[in-house]
Chains A and B, each alone.
Chain A
Amino acid sequence: MRNSILVVEDYAELRDLVTEILRRNGYEVCQAGNGAEGVALLRRNCGRLGLVLTDAAMPGMCGHALADQIRAGQIRGARADLKIILMTASHETVVERNGLTLLRKPFTEDELIARVREALDGS
């Protein structure tokens, strides 16, 4: 469970790259192309996920809205204190408020793995 990660990213190439790196580093990964798909996968996995790695800006349900739903305990089966990393190109200030970890785009492979380890080790 601790090594299972949900990657939510609308840009397919980036989603696949991130997934490939995480799998290469021993993590189990499932993918979603937007927030709504992410919610569906969270419901289906019922507590088996240790981390959600989501893009901030996506069409439809964005990463912020997905994080808000998780924190509010509105997704059946997903813990409200689930670790969440928000991938963003912006200088976000809102993330600390929701207890999210921030990963600034563009990032490197090392930065990605370091953030994921930090988030999972803190749980």
Chain B
Amino acid sequence: MKARQGRASLPRYLIEVQDEERERIGRRLHDDFGQQVAAISILLSTLKRGIPNEDKPRLEHIGRIREKLLGLAESMRRLSHELDPTVVQYAGLAAALRMFSAELSTNPGLQVSFETSFEASFEMGGATEILPLAAARGLYRIAQDALRPVSEGRLELCLARSARGVELTIAAVERKMAKALSRAVSGPALARLRQRAAAIGAALRISSSAPGFRLTVALRSKTLLEGGL
């Protein structure tokens, strides 16, 4: 019996270990590499101030280095956020999901819209004051895992209050996109999403009716903090 329980909990354990490792790398990217880039940027700007305005080639050269540095910083920021969802803690779940949607929509051919029915309460109080932080991070990770493999099409992401609690919905309304999303959340990927949902006490539902596809993660009200929502 014990051995069976151990096997059943193994995938969740592996997901936790992998998440911890990703978060460690994400923090390192932000706290160490990001700080070094910030220091180089300041040093570069100090160097630029010492160059006379007439020396246009050198000024242009420094300008190009700075552009590269900004590009590097942006790439590092994106990767860091992808690996470590600390943004959920600082900005709240709704804001974090909106940023994530906007970031995905920068990919050519991919358009992810985001809607929430209780924007005001999330923005005013911060999602983590309404949802336990672990639940907010869990929902964010589910959105990440489901949407990352999708590379083109139009998707709708929605965070809404339901009769029983909170629901996160990812929906594709076009046939081609529905196929891509159903492929992205099938097999081991679906098992992983179910484990993530179970870890925060949520239920995961998939409904497929041509031409659409919908994935819903429902978090019951008992999981929410008292006085929230």
Instruction: Specify whether A and B are partners.
Output: yes
Instruction: Give the interface of A toward B (CB within 8 A).
Output: 10-11, 13-14, 17-18, 21, 56-57, 59, 64, 89-94, 97, 105-112
Work out how many contacts link A and B, with CB atoms closer than 8 A.
Answer: 80
In the complex the two chains form, what is the Cα distance from A56 to B126 in whole Å? 16
Please judge, given known A-B contacts A17-B39, A57-B86, whether A94 and B73 are in contact too, CB under 8 Å: no
Please judge, given known A-B contacts A21-B46, A94-B126, whether A105 and B90 are in contact too, CB under 8 Å: no
Contact B81 A109 (CB under 8 A): no
For A21, A89, A107, A112, which residue has the most chain B Cβ atoms within 10 angstroms? A89
Contact A106 B87 (CB under 8 A): no
Contact A106 B40 (CB under 8 A): yes
Which chain A residues border B73 with CB–CB below 8 Å? 89, 105-106
Which chain A residues border B43 with CB–CB below 8 Å? 17
In the complex the two chains form, what is the Cα distance from A24 to B46 in whole Å? 12
Please judge, given known A-B contacts A11-B39, A57-B30, A93-B91, whether A108 and B45 are in contact too, CB under 8 Å: yes
In the complex the two chains form, what is the Cα distance from A112 to B80 in whole Å? 24
**Of B31, B39, B46, the contact of A13 (CB 8 Å cutoff):** B39
Q: B70-107 vs A: 1/0 string, CB under 8 Å?
A: 10010011001100001100111001000100000000
Contact A110 B90 (CB under 8 A): no
Contact A109 B49 (CB under 8 A): yes
Q: Number of B residues whose C-beta is below 8 Å from A? A: 34
Task: Check B38 for interface membership: any CB of A closer than 8 A.
Answer: yes
Which chain A residues border B124 with CB–CB below 8 Å? 97
Instruction: Give the interface of B toward A (CB within 8 A).
Output: 30-31, 34-35, 37-46, 48-49, 66, 69-70, 73, 76-77, 80-81, 86-87, 90-92, 95, 99, 123-124, 126
A-B contact pairs, 20 of them (CB 8 A): A11-B31, A13-B35, A14-B38, A17-B43, A21-B42, A57-B86, A90-B81, A90-B90, A91-B99, A92-B91, A93-B95, A94-B92, A94-B126, A105-B35, A105-B41, A106-B38, A106-B73, A107-B42, A108-B48, A109-B45
In the assembled complex, the CB of B97 is this many whole angstroms from the nearest CB of chain A, namely 11
Contact B90 A56 (CB under 8 A): yes
Contact B90 A92 (CB under 8 A): yes
For A14, A21, A106, which residue has the most chain B Cβ atoms within 10 angstroms? A106
Which chain A residues border B38 with CB–CB below 8 Å? 11, 14, 89, 105-107
In the complex the two chains form, what is the Cα distance from A21 to B47 in whole Å? 13
